Amino acid sequence: MAKKRKHKSGGGLFDIESPMAIELRRIMIRLGRQIDLERKRALLITSAERGEGKSLFALHFALVLAYHLQKKILLLDADVRRPVQHTVFQVPLSPGFAELLAGTLPVKEAIRPTKVKNLGFLPAGLGGGNPSRLFSGDRVRDTVRELHEFYDIVLLDSPPVVPVSDPLHYLSGVDGVLYLVMAGQTHRDVTQRGVEILRSAGANILGVVANNLAEVLPYYYDRKYYGYSR
């Protein structure tokens, strides 16, 4: 009997034909109907609290986009307070996003290549003792514009919105927000509070991704989820 062929994953990070990858592909398709992914785009991925699977989703979604779209994708670790993505790619934390915001080095010197075709990675960098000082003025927007000279779609793995205000500084540089919720775990009031924070800052919430604890699959809901509407 012939052995069942295993699907290759991007750089050994992900099985591109796994149930999760298939669900992420559905999210990609639905998202493409809301926002034209043929144009230069930047998307913010955030949640209300930590521990809702935001960074894992951002990583896997970046891999799916890189595999299925004929576009250059950049995964940007925008959590300069508690970065994690550099440990996945096994690269130094710095230089990275913080140094770009500070204007201390060119974009080309901060971006890390990956083993995955069409996918680049930008680590968080060293934010220092007061990271919020990096976000003043138009620094985030200008940095994203610079990144768009090299990449078509930029995914910002952002901190959660309830504990810190950092994600609100990123809104001027992105086209929309994907909001992560851990189904069955995050209290509805906390989730609603995160939505209200984003809405009050003028965020374009494209949809909610609910991580399902039983199946470990993300499910996508439109902007009306949890009472949000434009």
Which three-class secondary structure string do you get for 163-224? CCCHHHHHHHHCCEEEEEEECCCCCHHHHHHHHHHHHHCCCCEEEEEEEECCCCEEEEECCC
Please state whether 179 falls in left (phi above 0), alpha (psi between -120 and 50) or beta. Answer: beta
pTM of the full structure: 0.86
Per-residue pLDDT of the chain (230 residues), as tens digits, is 344 444 455 556 667 777 778 888 888 998 998 898 989 999 999 999 988 889 999 999 999 999 999 899 999 999 999 999 999 999 999 999 999 998 888 898 899 999 999 999 999 999 877 777 888 889 999 999 999 999 999 999 999 999 999 999 999 999 999 999 887 777 889 889 999 999 999 999 998 888 765 554 555 555 444 333 33
| Ordered structural domains, the chain, with CATH | 22-220 (3.40.50.300)
Phi, psi (degrees; rounded to nearest 5) at 7: -75, 135
